């Protein structure tokens, strides 16, 4: 993977684009016994300014865990476009009705049947401290050919870009 320099603004914009495209992520928290636990979550914020927003129940395990240890990781995978994003940050429980109404999607009714009035509804805000992304503009077939070539030549495959971003 390439580590060619890119501007911080360009790298942040790429993180935004990759996260927005993937939309579904794995939110990793630390359990009370120290184990790391991941679960799928749907990203609610279309624009990414360093904060990610999720809906949850206030009495859920993930919310209890982040109250004790707010350090989390949010990982996106978009296999269709051969891209991945890992975002590290600090999570807090915050319910802001105006923001909840802005971010609400009808699809959320499956989990929260009374909409933003669902009893126990809260929001998780993840404030990003850093991110790393891997992005391959090539198709899966081209990537597989690059891997085969690498196996024959002994040189690492040229699979795309890898950049780290701080916020």
Blockwise average pLDDT, block size 10, the chain, 167 residues: 62 86 93 95 76 96 97 93 92 95 93 97 96 74 44 61 77
Cβ contacts of residue 32 below 8 Å, gap of 6+?
A: 64, 65, 68
Q: What pTM does this model have? A: 0.80
User: What is the pLDDT, as a whole number, of residue 127?
Assistant: 94
The C-alpha atoms of residue 68 and residue 36 are separated, in whole angstroms, by 13
Q: Give me the CATH topology for the region 8-166.
A: Pnp Oxidase; Chain A (2.30.110)
Domain range list for the chain: 8-166
The C-alpha atoms of residue 31 and residue 18 are separated, in whole angstroms, by 28
User: What is the pLDDT, as a whole number, of residue 147?
Assistant: 41
User: What is the pLDDT, as a whole number, of residue 84?
Assistant: 92
Q: Strand pairing of 71-78 and 83-93?
A: antiparallel
Task: Enumerate the H helices of 25-164 as residue ranges.
Answer: 61-68, 97-103, 140-153
User: What is the pLDDT, as a whole number, of residue 33?
Assistant: 94
């Amino acid at each position: 993977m390439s580590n060619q320099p890119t501007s911080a603004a360009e790298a942040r914009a790429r993180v935004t684009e990759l996260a927005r495209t993937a939309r579904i992520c794995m939110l990793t928290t630390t359990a009370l016994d120290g184990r790391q636990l991941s679960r799928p979550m749907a990203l609610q914020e279309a624009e990414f300014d360093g904060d990610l927003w999720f809906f949850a129940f206030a009495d859920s395990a993930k919310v209890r865990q982040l109250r004790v240890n707010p350090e989390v990781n949010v990982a996106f995978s978009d296999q269709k476009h051969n891209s991945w994003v890992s975002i590290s940050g600090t999570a807090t429980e915050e319910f802001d009705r105006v923001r909840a109404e802005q971010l609400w999607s009808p699809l959320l009714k499956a989990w929260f049947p009374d909409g933003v009035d669902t009893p126990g509804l809260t929001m998780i805000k993840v404030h990003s401290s850093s991110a790393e992304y891997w992005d391959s503009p090539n198709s899966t077939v081209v990537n597989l050919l690059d891997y085969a070539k690498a196996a024959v030549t002994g040189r690492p495959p040229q699979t795309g870009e890898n950049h780290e971003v701080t916020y």
